[in-house]
Structure 1
Amino acid sequence: MVEQSNESAFAHEQTDHASAELHHHHSHATASKHIGGHHLLQVENLGVSFSMYDSSDRCFFRARKRTVQVIHDLSVSVHAGEIVAVVGASGSGKTLLADSVLGLFEPNATVTGTIWFDGRQCDARDLERLRGRGISLVPQSSANLDPLMKVGRQVRGVAKDAEDAKRRAALQRELFARYGLEPQVANLYPFELSGGMVRRVLLCCALVDEPKLIVADEPTPGLDLDLAVRALDDLRSFADGGGGVLLITHDIELALRVADRVAVFKDGTVVEETAVANFASPDLLRHPFTKELWRALPDHDFDIPKGGGTC
């Protein structure tokens, strides 16, 4: 579970940072606003480790347990009205960040650090309660849809009562119209949808609960460029409406198209969190690895400095 800190936690998040260029490990973008005097999401010093059996032991029954640290000292934030892209290599542990924000912890995991949401410090139980009730997930796989249930019913979800069922049905129709899904799509099964339609249905599943924060975990794999850009434009629209988006991706080019700030993930932590505007020049970037990412972009002709890279 997430550790609680001392009584200074509230003051920590209520501080007015409007005039600060650099604070809490990150610099600001134009869209970075501290509504209510705090971040929408603030993750501080997150650590995730797993207790595992040592596979090098020849006999399974005598295998000893060891602790594997996957994430350490990770800090990242999201302001209301902005998209923060967490970029890094596939398989580097970025999804564990998403799981931690959503309160999804494996039984053999040890999670430390502090998470604030909308100005309130949260423990594991708080994050679980917020899942689908303030924080929503756009998963990376269409396998998250039930293949035996029509998509309209999946988007509407479980209603508390008849009045809530009516509200959800109306919101589902509104979301389908907003994202270019014809009304008859509600009566289709997932296998009858195109890849782009599946992505929009997954977004509607997240939006039907009217969240303040969307965690989008690799929302564009398998899509061609036009569909990927359209999927990210949908997230952009949500952020422009006042929501926050934590976009987890390995595609830095797409991230730079849509995000306000970028958090660079390397070796189990965020090494730099900076405005997209700072990617205009490597001189505006602080960490050597971030500068190497800049030089590796096609628009910069893969400009590796003399003497080799640092990553």
Structure 2
Amino acid sequence: MAIVEVENLSISFKRYTSRFKQVNHQVISNLNVSIEAGEIVAVVGASGSGKSLLAHALLGILPIHANVSGTMTYKGEPLTAKRQGMLRGKEMSLVPQSVHFLDPLMKIGKQVRQSAKHHKAAFLQKKVFERYRLPVKTEKLYPFQLSGGMARRALLATAVVSEAELIIADEPTPGLDSAVIEEALTNLRELADNGSAILLITHDIEAALKIADKIAVFYAGTTVEVAPAVDFTGKGEMLRHPYSKALWRALPQNEFIPIPGAQPHPSELPPGCLFAPRCTIATSKCRHEQPTNRAVRNGMVRCFHAT
């Protein structure tokens, strides 16, 4: 059974024009992803593709004006607002993208210890601080006294001591040196190997491939492909979606081939396949019909032409 399963998730936000006309901006549409216990699923894609919104939807921390539809389950049971409140910070832990999630009025050590589930909180906090090279005095400091890198390590430490069954790591490595990044990734892998389900949201595909079991590729608010991490190799021959292949080949360490055009704004989504305006193999059908998810070669893809 999947620890988390998201099916046909759609999120829109109410906005008002200069003439006070209400409009809905669809920022996520028909998004699908699932995570098993002991598995790391890395979510990759351009900024604005819906990666962080997925994390906020799972935790129930979307803005009040968000309209949400679709199905989200945790251990087979619906993730209602009440259940999200009970699980958040306990069985579901977030390593947020912004260091502003730290409580500015609470010392770092106490914040980290609050996430621990048992009486060994102080011991666990000290051990994880050693692991992340945070000086002993850090536990007595407030967030404003930390550097950006130290604050990110403190956020990661909070998730590690929580021993949560679902850990959502939203861009957990920016601002860290290469040694600490390796350590952070290793620790996420260890948590998964001990049974936690990990949702890793990142722009760094290369880092994700070091520890992830699957890669979910997001584009313009939807999942275009979910593939085993081992499929990201060579020139992308094993990948299924044109965007996944283009994203892989655009990396500097690969062919560094830019993707023409730009990801559409939520207010200007095309009627058919969201990637069709930029796709070199798009047909009339692609431009007018939206492809559905289907299984292809031990993966999932949203494309009419994938084989």
**Closer/same/farther in 2, CA of residues 158 and 139 from structure 1, 3 Å limit:** closer
Superposed displacement of residue 105, structure 1 = 2.5
1:187-198 residue pairs with structure 2 within 5 A? 187-198=140-151
| Maintained 8 Å contact 1:104/1:128 | no
> In the alignment, which of 154, 164, 175 is matched to residue 201 of structure 1?
154
Q: Shift of the alpha carbon at 1:40?
A: 1.4
Conservation of the 8 A alpha-carbon contact between 1:103 and 1:125: no
Using a 3 Å threshold, how does the CA distance of structure 1 residues 45 and 195 change in structure 2: closer, same or farther? same
8 Å contact from structure 2 (residues 149, 175) kept in 1? no
- Pair 1:299 & 2:266 matched: no
CA RMSD of aligned residues (A): 2.4
In structure 2, relative to structure 1, the CA distance for the partners of 1:77 and 1:64 (3 Å cut) is: same
| Contact 1:43-1:74 within 8 A present in 2 as well | yes
Residues 154-211 of structure 1: CA distance to partner in whole angstroms, max 9, x if unpaired?
112289xxxx784433432343345444443312333444444322211222233321
Report if the CA contact (8 A) 1:199-1:231 is conserved: no
Q: CA offsets, 1:94-125, max 9 Å, x none?
A: 11100011011321111111112123232222
Which residue pairs with 2:32 in the alignment?
A: 75
1:254 aligned residue (207, 224, 227): 207
3-state SS of the aligned residue for 1:239? helix
- Structure 1 residues not aligned, in runs of 5+: 1-37, 58-62
2:166 corresponds to which residue?
Answer: 213
| Aligned-partner SS, 1:280 | coil
Aligned pair partner of 1:185 in 100, 121, 138: 138
2: CA distance, partners of 1:165 / 1:251: 34
Native 8 Å contact 1:253 1:297 kept in 2: no
Q: How does 1:77-116 map to 2 (within 5 A)?
A: 77-116=34-73
| 1:289 aligns to 2:243 (yes or no) | yes
| Partner of residue 145 from structure 1, selected from 92, 102, 109 | 102
Deviation above 6 Å: which 4+ runs of structure 1?
none
How far, CA to CA, are the matches of 1:119 and 1:180 in structure 2?
Answer: 38
Q: Distance in 2 between matches of 1:198 and 1:102?
A: 21
Q: Is the 8 A contact 2:13 2:24 kept in 1?
A: yes
Identity of aligned residues (%): 51
SS of equivalent to 1:284 = coil
The structure-2 alpha-carbon separation of the partners of 1:229 and 1:171, relative to structure 1 and needing over 3 Å to count, comes to closer
- Report the secondary structure of 2:237's partner residue: helix
Q: Name the CA distance, whole Å, in 2 between partners of 1:191 and 1:150.
A: 10
Q: Which amino acid aligns with 1:299?
A: Q
Structure 2 residue aligned with 1:52, among 6, 15, 36?
15
Question: Which is helix-richer, 1 or 2?
Answer: 1
Higher relative contact order (CA 8 A, sep 6+): 1
Q: CA deviation at 1:254?
A: 1.8
- TM-fit CA distance, 1:289: 0.5
TM-score (norm 2): 0.77
The aligned amino acid for 1:310 is C
Structure 2 equivalent of residue 40 of structure 1: 3
Deviations 1:229-264 (A, max 9, x none): 333222222112221110111222222222221100
For 1:34-92, what per-residue CA distance to the aligned partner results, in whole angstroms no more than 9, with x for missing partners? xxxx011111110101111124x3xxxxx111111110000001111121111011233
Equivalent residue in structure 1 for 2:193, among 240, 247, 268: 240
SS of 2:232 mapped into structure 1: helix
In structure 1, how many angstroms separate the alpha carbons of the residues matched to 2:115 and 2:11?
Answer: 32
